[in-house]
């Protein structure tokens, strides 16, 4: 039985993530999210201290950049702390 290699699963998943962030995100709802809406309705939205985004709002380009930055950091951290010798207890 041929098994899809881990490499292809990761590359395939990454492609899906890039398409979601780069293309599908254009169709996302622009309504306020649950907490934002509740803060408006319950009268504490004014306590927010807003600040400017470093690379702009979520869009196709910034979304793709975000995906790659997250991939690099999360991939780097987990690569660094992973077990290097899964079959030996002392390592």
Which of 21, 33, 30 has its CA nearest to residue 69? 21
Hey, how many other C-beta atoms are within 10 angstroms of the C-beta on 60?
Answer: 13
CA 11, CA 72: separation in Å to the nearest integer? 14
Shortest Cβ distance from residue 90 to other proteins (Å)?
14
Q: Which of residues 36-75 bind other proteins (CB under 8 A)?
A: 37-39, 41-44, 46-55, 57-58, 62-63, 65-75
* Binding of other proteins by 1 (CB under 8 A): no
Shortest Cβ distance from residue 6 to other proteins (Å)?
6
Contact criterion met (CB below 8 Å) for 64 and 14: no
For 27, half-sphere exposure in the C-beta direction (CA atoms, 13 angstrom radius) is 4
Shortest Cβ distance from residue 50 to other proteins (Å)?
7
Positions that interact with other proteins (CB under 8 A): 3-4, 6-7, 9-10, 13-14, 16-18, 20-21, 24-25, 28-35, 37-39, 41-44, 46-55, 57-58, 62-63, 65-79, 81-83, 86
């Amino acid at each position: 039985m041929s098994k899809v290699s881990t490499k292809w699963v990761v590359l395939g998943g990454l492609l899906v993530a890039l398409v979601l962030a780069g293309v599908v995100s254009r169709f996302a709802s622009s309504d306020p999210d649950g907490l934002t809406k509740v803060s408006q309705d319950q009268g504490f939205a004014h306590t927010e201290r807003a600040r400017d985004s470093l690379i702009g709002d979520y869009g196709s380009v910034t979304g793709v950049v975000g995906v790659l930055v997250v991939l690099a950091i999360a991939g780097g951290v987990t690569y660094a702390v992973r077990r290097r010798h899964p079959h030996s207890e002392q390592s």
